[in-house]
Amino acid sequence: MTFVRDDLRPLRRRTALFLAVFALAFAVIAFRLFSLQVVQAPTWRKLAENNRLRRLPLEAPRGLVTDCTGRVVMDNRPAFQLLLFPEEMKDPERTVRFLVQLGLADEGEVRARVARARRTSHLPSVIADNLSWAQMAAVAAHRADFQELAVHPATRRAVPAGPAVAHLVGQLGEVSPAQLAADSRLRPGQLVGKSGIELAYQEVLGGVPGNLVVVVDALGRQVSTLDEEPPKPGHPLALTVDLELQTEAAEAMAGLVGSVVGLDPRDGAVRVLLSEPSFDPDLFAGHLEPARWASLVADPLKPLQNRALQALYPPGSTIKPIFAAGALADGLRAPAHSVYCTGTATFYGHPYRCWLAGGHGHVALERGIEVSCDTFFYRLAYEAGIGRLAAWAKRLGLGERTGIDLPGEAAGLVPSEEWSRRTRGHPWYAGETISVGIGQGPILVTPLQLAVAYAALVNGGFLVTPHLVPGGGKPPRPTGIDPAVLATVRRGMERVVAGGEGTARRLASLPVPMAGKTGTSQVIRKKEGVKWQELPWEQRHHALFVGYAPPAEPTLVVVAVVEHGGDASAVAAPVVGRVLAKAFGHDVEISTPQLLLANPHAQPEPTPPGARAAQVAEVRP
């Protein structure tokens, strides 16, 4: 190879051309840099921020709820939520498959939750709360594959007292669109009170959620905290309820259907508020599974209903002291006025039977209450007419809401001629008045209303507003009933327990003196000569008892209603007896005819939450 000095001009010409081409290319790159870094910079900067910043909601721990002695009714425990960041989801189908494999819920539900999360795409959504350790481990193991998912510490409502207070404390649920619109402090997906104390005192217990802005790296790991706005925890709330009595009532009502209400007659403070059957309040501590919800709703025993203030029953004989007080106060009866009971009385050409077939003989007012003579009260009703019966019932608070600080209370029904025409479309039948006289027919009360009415009978004639928080409720309203009248009625009620013929005399053996009134309300008309034990469960009468103690200066009124309990003195009175005895420091065992009460709808215990999740040992995406 030799190198000869030759004409380099064509070579240099072509080289210069190359130089020009590259100069142009450098210019193009420079222009592109200008467009990216100067013109479009804000857009890219926002994308970079989205890359690295995550806004996490910090739920406010809800307030602690205690009973009247400071025992914990409801607090919080740590739990772990699964958050979904919809914007980071690469393939929703793949995410859904993973979540289903985690065992969070069935596929339809998971799909619905993911779809809902995508609607509020700028914020993370809670896909599941209360993750098990296995689920958390599975999410952590697949963090690189599913960067849209994050396990987030949170608190979860814990109700140590369990099903005994389920209706009282109520349920949490996801905030509704209407609530969101009304209160700017609420967040989508946030849990708020939906019933019970949780709803009534949402303002107190709720707190204000906070925010956490964290920097994450490309693998979704939190690198640092940029900004933290801590949540404001909810305020604590002390209730008037006595957890010990509540638990005693629950034990006494085990296996039964009905409710127990305990009230301090002096001011209306609620000591016991129980509804059976109940449910595990933990089911409602987080985001409820629709399947669980559906099974609770479909249960024929309606476990979600708070029977203490939502169920309506004919009061049966428990209405008798109320009418007795009315009759005495209005002068329709003197305490000594006596009626002769043969076992049957005839009004408007129809026979009305007393519950005691042989009759009670001469019955005055006090004994009428003691033996619960129907004939005495048939006669009273006949003379008073429906108008006055209704007035007496209303004077003691029946037919209207008590005003308790819990949502969903029923108003009950006190009938009138006008009510009959308007609601039923036919005139009031005179014979119905006679039935109403013994608490049957179209007169309906809630257990709570009964408790309020009896409180007025024993507190000197004041209508109290039942309340769950000390100092709550409106001031007691006087009914204007003369103390002497009330004294007469109370003597009758003392004889119910203490009297030789008292319908609840079995309670006389208890260490705590008490008084009260039994009541049996018909579900269907009882056939002659059939014992209640032989009837199918659904056709048995409801058993009621209202008791109070001490008889002289009562500090506690307790109502027990046992649906289809059959016999008030054998079934309902012992429940009240146990609760009253407990309130005054005595543990008593009173056997209720449990075997006879077996109801056909009794269901096995639901699977405890978490049991299913625990089965997920290993999950692959």
Is position 213 an interface residue for another protein (rule: CB under 8 A)? no
Question: Could you please report the per-residue DSSP string of 587-614?
Answer: -------GGGG--TT--PPPPPTTTTGG
Residue 194 to residue 398: CA distance in whole angstroms: 27
3-class secondary-structure state, position 615: helix
Cβ proximity to another protein, 28 vs 297, nearer residue? 28
CB of 179 to another protein, least distance (A): 36
Sheet containing strand 258-263, edge to edge, reads 270-276, 258-263, 556-562, 542-549, 515-521
Is position 357 an interface residue for another protein (rule: CB under 8 A)? no
Strands (E) across 59-144 are located at 65-66, 72-84, 125-128
CB of 214 to another protein, least distance (A): 12
Cβ proximity to another protein, 84 vs 406, nearer residue? 84
CB of 5 to another protein, least distance (A): 7
Residue 289 to residue 613: CA distance in whole angstroms: 13
CB of 46 to another protein, least distance (A): 8
Name the residue with tokens 């000869």. 4
CB of 11 to another protein, least distance (A): 5
Which residue in 23, 297, 334, 602 binds another protein (CB under 8 A)?
23
Cβ proximity to another protein, 20 vs 334, nearer residue? 20
Residue 288 to residue 280: CA distance in whole angstroms: 12
Is position 94 an interface residue for another protein (rule: CB under 8 A)? no
Is position 181 an interface residue for another protein (rule: CB under 8 A)? no
Q: Which among 12-20, 271-279, 442-450, 564-572 is the span making contact with another protein, rule CB under 8 A? A: 12-20
Among 316, 320, 263, 343, residue whose Cα is nearest residue 492: 320
CB of 128 to another protein, least distance (A): 24
Which residue in 70, 119, 122, 218 binds another protein (CB under 8 A)?
218
Q: Which among 34-42, 59-67, 161-169, 233-241 is the span making contact with another protein, rule CB under 8 A? A: 34-42
Give the number of other CB atoms < 10 A from CB of residue 228. Answer: 13
In which region does residue 130 sit, left (phi positive, over 0), alpha (psi from -120 to 50) or beta (all else)? left
**47-66 footprint of another protein as x/- string (CB under 8 A):** xx--xx--------------
Is position 34 an interface residue for another protein (rule: CB under 8 A)? yes
Is position 222 an interface residue for another protein (rule: CB under 8 A)? no
Is position 121 an interface residue for another protein (rule: CB under 8 A)? no
Both tokens assigned to 402: 């008590």
Residues numbered 537 to 556 that lie near another protein (CB under 8 A) are: none
Q: Which helix (H) or strand (E) holds 273?
A: strand 270-276
Name the residue with tokens 């009248």. 485
Is position 22 an interface residue for another protein (rule: CB under 8 A)? yes
**251: Cβ–Cβ under 8 A, 6 or more apart, which residues?**
578
Chain residues in the site for another protein (CB under 8 A): 1-8, 10-12, 14-16, 18-19, 22-23, 25-26, 28-30, 32-34, 36-38, 40-41, 43-45, 47-48, 51-52, 90-91, 215-219, 223
